[in-house]
Structure 1
């Protein structure tokens, strides 16, 4: 608990130092009183931090609402803007109560990122004028038109301060050496503003002015058409909500990637309600609109925060700053804050997002939204983006091209576009041109297939195969598509000796040579046929980490394929294999540490719920142990003979009741074949006893949180047997439901 408090305290100071210059800069960009940015940061930390559903989200003055707020201040005045902020907060509270937060995320990311990029362009154009020593105009087009004359008549002092700010922002994260590592503990925005303030000493430049907070700064009802006020409230509500929810999702993803953090997604409806409460309070106190910020939230996670206390403490520090540091803040030149906000605006145009939307063929939505936001405004830009998205979706649904080409080996049916019920008649006409009993490849180039199209394609495929034809499905680029199966099945595989994908060994080569070629051939076949089918699941496991529920201890014999006999896949089994499936008890020599370490890791770290020891027929280790009967170990020992010494307790156990060990262990369905099989069965039971010698295993078995199982697999019969420890009997596992053993 104390460690968590220390981490939260440290993180709160980091985000406080980031939020102070950023809040002042956002207030400057909107034309609001500068203390309004600090009020928004304090309220965001205290109210949204306490009530929100994303614990590590940090809220403050909304970056995405800079353009909207600036327009509201110019049109209605500051006090009316505060009232609009409070009304938008009430709307967010209603949306949170209606549990519509997830629906807000249904808006295409291309539209959202296009909107943020358009806001970023508008912010950058406006703040560039401040850096040049002038004030911004009311629209992006006016700022562009006035830029040439402003460049000819810039103010050198303001430009110097702005250039220093941008240079420090860019260079600070790249400071080299030990001293640079210590310097980087200070956030780059704070360092940039501090250096620019020091450089501006003695220069005549406009600086921060923080008038005392007075009662007349409280909100007043807007004086204007009701429809215009409603549009303003709607715009603030939508933009603040989407910015907060997207930031909450991003911060929650970062939080989940940190080891030791509690699992569970962010409560988005609660977060939306928390943001609404913060906007109501901020508006009533004369603060800017509040929203969650990805910049501050990411910094909070990276600073090591573990709970919402870091956000709340950051709000407390903002209150102290408002009351005690006003004289210090008034030393900051406005050009430094403008340069800081201009850099934030540039980052809002993310090239990573542009590449992403291009990959998904959504760049028209992104570009249309960006351009409309710059030209007409945020709400109009969102409307244009949604209209373009609807048009493209309809176009994709209705423009499906289907062709049939007769190739040398097969007929190729190529589908370009989405497969909906509208395309079923064209699909049926095209498939009718395929000859009976022909080999057919159906290439699906779209990303969507509705139920009507699926039924039509599946019915034709079944009928064509019934008439002796062959059909395979593949996606764009030739990637195979797995057809749905009625049950969990294991398809036949091709033994290496029959692989057509491997190069034959050179003539005259000895047996066993060419194995490397076979291995590479198998890997190549995996990359071509299997990797596309499992890549999504493996990516999920790589992202979330392994969480197996079973520890499976078995022999290293190549005929024992654990995933096949257990119908398991990646992430299901934590598997340990060695010669003879032996588990030396603790206290043996250090050569056994690898098995003991695996047991300890599975039980203590992975918290598996069961451990299975699996022996098998024809085990070479058991045959070798039987060959030592009546002989003492020789003086010359190899690693293999030393390892097999750990199997002698199993051999002694089999010999205790007699030479053949009758009555010690049995198969329920048939007699034990020979001493080799009997020893393999006894060995499973002996290794289960060795497991109980591990304190971690014994403790969890006593608690009831861990179960031990024995299994025997007969290779020739492809039959698994499960141990009933009370009866000392192995019972065959049948396809029907397994009785309790």
Structure 2
């Protein structure tokens, strides 16, 4: 069994060396503002979730504070905010009903211990194997249960412990509704829905205040001003706050309760961490330096938070999507925002009790009911419909509503397995003949179970005829592949022809070519390659990266080489004559031939870390770049040199954080060639480069733009370049590629430009200066 990795590693210092100086924790302004925004959302939601579970209202505040401080400090997803989650409401309410509040806290502690064990076993990635349809169905079922229960409080009554009982009692509740409670609930829902839709410039400013806070505050203020008599938040003294106790009851029942709490907390937190990673990746800037989540560490952090929360009398803790999204969108750049939001909850729980006790319970119930309704996501329903997983989604949701969370999840998993087996076992194979061509159509997954029927259909094709085999599925096992290969070889040997097609994407492999289909869009990364037919070579020994390279080369040989072979043969005879030297960064996201729409022989490419051009004659300079420049200008006679930088450049980020005298590694020594770019950026503020229409979003983007301008200056100092420029035989260009937008910008002006324009605008300016492009002659490429 692998040992549990420590959450911290301390490095002792020698007793003879001076003790390291303590650095004060530094909190960025972005983290502070994000923490305030998340706190304003978490405060009313935590009280509302505690109300929905039937727990003491302080328990919601305890869980919010512990989730922020403990899970925020120890977890593996720095920007995920943890606390009491709506997805745990049904589970917690059922535990309180069965075992009581103190025993529920004890179960929460045991669930945290179980999470620590799972984190030590490093099985966090295994939770992602659960079908998304099961997860979405679980959340939808929990959302329905929450909404139905809270509707009774909205109407002025109290809910029952089961959904069926709540539905049965709803007509009587409607007949005896409480006008004041309904008024506060309607006001809360109106503010909650209308606030994010405020129009105009003033509306944009007001929308920065969380809608949940506005809704609850508005209802509380209205109730106080009008003097309505209705139940309000009651926060007893912290001296009477109940702590955890040992659960009593059947061992199997307690074990099932612990397992259910562990399952829901872990899956929700891990899926939330993955969602936060995707959200951060879509937002370039300082957040991109946070890095991907460590899911095993996140599980350890959630386990520690549940142990502390349960021990202190708090609700179970999990990652919360609403607060995490708000944290990222508010600009948080480190885990400090999450921890600070927890500290703010503690301050509010100690100093804001009189204010919190003015909140009507009906307003909190309306807020939680709205959250429950939102958990039934139309986007998720459309997704499962597109993937034909509606039965899994529906079975899980109905199971959670009528049986319980654990039972509903088990039912959903069983339905998912049954559907997968049905799809594997039921494959439709048909044979038809039209105009002398025999069509064999395969619908579904092609496994060994379908081999007898496939063999019968293929043997209906007469010898010496033309056959088309249409494969409409995403999986083929080895037995089916061998059967199809054997038939094809025999059919070709007897004078026939065989064509293998995939109707879904219209990609064909015919005649004597190897039977392969590549269902890949142009320029797709290796991880997205889908080889429906086994044309890829046998996987060589070694790691997966080596197999991916071999598959990529094999795909080129099958699909691309036949298209470019004639052009490459011509270049091999005549030699290369590129017109452009393209100097760019080694970043894997920059595919030069893709972003320039160029082909073989067009670009002479030089790539290095940071697209740097060492000045000529510099001590310990890199002669490889200078040699490439000399060869391109003097031997190949290129007419243009382009220096291309890009967004999110790691070299520029390193320059901003590395001392100017740090030459401890080859990378640091190489980056010294970028120091002039740093100096230039810190110089004349008016001459700083920018993108047309906007300023750089942060220091990294400003340095990326400045670096392009500076490296052009270095280029002009190289003797071959200077000679060619003096003769008017060469021109220099600066380019910036924004990876996230897939947008290229060209530096305006041949000398000393500082504005990077959209490429289309640059082409238009060039045509105005040089006249319209002449039409190409027939056959000219």
Fold similarity call, TM over 0.5: yes
Taking the TM superposition and a 5 Å limit, the aligned residue runs for 1:167-186 are 167-186=190-209
Alpha-carbon shift at residue 121 of structure 1 (Å): 0.1
Tell me which residue corresponds to 1:452.
Answer: 479
Cα RMSD for the two superposed structures: 3.8
Alpha-carbon shift at residue 599 of structure 1 (Å): 1.1
Q: In structure 1, how many angstroms separate the alpha carbons of the residues matched to 2:318 and 2:649?
A: 39
Q: Which of the residues 470, 473, 482 maps onto 2:498?
A: 470
Tell me which residue corresponds to 1:424.
Answer: 451
Alpha-carbon shift at residue 441 of structure 1 (Å): 2.3
Tell me which residue corresponds to 1:353.
Answer: 380
1:492 equivalent to 2:562? Answer: yes
1:60 equivalent to 2:87? Answer: no
Larger-Rg structure: 1
Taking the TM superposition and a 5 Å limit, the aligned residue runs for 1:289-688 are 289-408=316-435, 410-466=437-493, 467-476=495-504, 478=506, 480=508, 481-482=517-518, 484=535, 487=554, 488-489=556-557, 490-493=560-563, 547-548=589-590, 562-563=599-600, 598-601=642-645
Tell me which residue corresponds to 1:520.
Answer: none
Alpha-carbon shift at residue 395 of structure 1 (Å): 1.2
Tell me which residue corresponds to 1:242.
Answer: 267
Q: In structure 2, how many angstroms separate the alpha carbons of the residues matched to 1:603 and 1:26?
A: 42
Q: In structure 2, how many angstroms separate the alpha carbons of the residues matched to 1:305 and 1:547?
A: 25
Alpha-carbon deviations, 1:50-83, whole Å to 9, x = none? 0101110000002111011111111111100000
1:84 equivalent to 2:126? Answer: no
Tell me which residue corresponds to 1:190.
Answer: 213
Tell me which residue corresponds to 1:127.
Answer: 150
Alpha-carbon deviations, 1:261-313, whole Å to 9, x = none? 12642111110111000000000000000000111111111111111110000
Q: In structure 2, how many angstroms separate the alpha carbons of the residues matched to 1:380 and 1:366?
A: 14
Kindly indicate whether the alpha-carbon contact (under 8 Å) linking 1:117 and 1:349 is maintained by their aligned counterparts in 2: yes
Q: What stretches of structure 2 of length at least 5 have no aligned partner?
A: 1-23, 509-516, 519-532, 538-553, 566-586, 606-610, 612-627, 631-638, 653-666, 671-715, 736-749, 753-781
Kindly indicate whether the alpha-carbon contact (under 8 Å) linking 1:420 and 1:452 is maintained by their aligned counterparts in 2: yes
Q: Which of the residues 233, 252, 258 maps onto 1:227?
A: 252
Change (3 A) 1:546 1:194: farther
- 3-state DSSP class of the match of 1:435? coil
Tell me which residue corresponds to 1:722.
Answer: none
Kindly indicate whether the alpha-carbon contact (under 8 Å) linking 2:643 and 2:733 is maintained by their aligned counterparts in 1: no
Change (3 A) 1:650 1:315: closer
Alpha-carbon deviations, 1:577-614, whole Å to 9, x = none? xxxxxx999xxxxxxxx967x4153699597999xxxx
Kindly indicate whether the alpha-carbon contact (under 8 Å) linking 1:549 and 1:607 is maintained by their aligned counterparts in 2: no
Alpha-carbon shift at residue 446 of structure 1 (Å): 2.3
Q: In structure 2, how many angstroms separate the alpha carbons of the residues matched to 1:299 and 1:318?
A: 16
1:211 equivalent to 2:236? Answer: yes
Alpha-carbon shift at residue 447 of structure 1 (Å): 2.3
Change (3 A) 1:406 1:584: same
Kindly indicate whether the alpha-carbon contact (under 8 Å) linking 2:290 and 2:334 is maintained by their aligned counterparts in 1: no
Change (3 A) 1:276 1:485: closer
Q: In structure 2, how many angstroms separate the alpha carbons of the residues matched to 1:61 and 1:31?
A: 13
Q: Which of the residues 13, 18, 35 maps onto 1:12?
A: 35
Q: In structure 2, how many angstroms separate the alpha carbons of the residues matched to 1:462 and 1:254?
A: 50
Q: In structure 2, how many angstroms separate the alpha carbons of the residues matched to 1:607 and 1:550?
A: 18
Alpha-carbon shift at residue 213 of structure 1 (Å): 2.2
Q: What stretches of structure 1 of length at least 5 have no aligned partner?
A: 496-544, 569-573, 575-582, 586-593, 611-645, 655-678, 696-741
Kindly indicate whether the alpha-carbon contact (under 8 Å) linking 1:420 and 1:450 is maintained by their aligned counterparts in 2: yes
- 3-state DSSP class of the match of 1:599? strand
Q: In structure 1, how many angstroms separate the alpha carbons of the residues matched to 2:231 and 2:457?
A: 73
- 3-state DSSP class of the match of 2:376? coil
**TM value normalised by structure 2:** 0.66
Alpha-carbon shift at residue 564 of structure 1 (Å): 8.0
Tell me which residue corresponds to 1:47.
Answer: 70
1:138 equivalent to 2:161? Answer: yes
Kindly indicate whether the alpha-carbon contact (under 8 Å) linking 1:4 and 1:306 is maintained by their aligned counterparts in 2: no
Tell me which residue corresponds to 2:300.
Answer: 273
For this pair of structures, how many residues does the alignment match? 555
Change (3 A) 1:216 1:337: closer
Change (3 A) 1:688 1:120: closer
Q: In structure 2, how many angstroms separate the alpha carbons of the residues matched to 1:119 and 1:652?
A: 71
Tell me which residue corresponds to 2:283.
Answer: 258
Kindly indicate whether the alpha-carbon contact (under 8 Å) linking 1:584 and 1:690 is maintained by their aligned counterparts in 2: no
Tell me which residue corresponds to 1:502.
Answer: none
Q: In structure 1, how many angstroms separate the alpha carbons of the residues matched to 2:50 and 2:595?
A: 64
Tell me which residue corresponds to 2:129.
Answer: 106
Change (3 A) 1:214 1:460: farther
Change (3 A) 1:233 1:602: closer
Q: In structure 1, how many angstroms separate the alpha carbons of the residues matched to 2:230 and 2:368?
A: 18
Q: In structure 1, how many angstroms separate the alpha carbons of the residues matched to 2:442 and 2:734?
A: 60
Q: Which of the residues 170, 185, 194 maps onto 1:162?
A: 185
**TM value normalised by structure 1:** 0.69
Q: In structure 1, how many angstroms separate the alpha carbons of the residues matched to 2:386 and 2:478?
A: 26
Change (3 A) 1:3 1:408: farther
- 3-state DSSP class of the match of 2:98? helix
Alpha-carbon shift at residue 417 of structure 1 (Å): 1.8
Alpha-carbon shift at residue 120 of structure 1 (Å): 0.2
Q: In structure 2, how many angstroms separate the alpha carbons of the residues matched to 1:90 and 1:412?
A: 60
Kindly indicate whether the alpha-carbon contact (under 8 Å) linking 2:644 and 2:734 is maintained by their aligned counterparts in 1: no
Change (3 A) 1:107 1:563: farther
- 3-state DSSP class of the match of 2:40? helix
Kindly indicate whether the alpha-carbon contact (under 8 Å) linking 2:466 and 2:496 is maintained by their aligned counterparts in 1: no
Alpha-carbon shift at residue 183 of structure 1 (Å): 1.1
Change (3 A) 1:214 1:455: farther
Tell me which residue corresponds to 2:524.
Answer: none
Q: In structure 1, how many angstroms separate the alpha carbons of the residues matched to 2:369 and 2:378?
A: 17
Q: In structure 2, how many angstroms separate the alpha carbons of the residues matched to 1:144 and 1:479?
A: 54
Q: In structure 1, how many angstroms separate the alpha carbons of the residues matched to 2:385 and 2:734?
A: 58
Change (3 A) 1:16 1:141: same
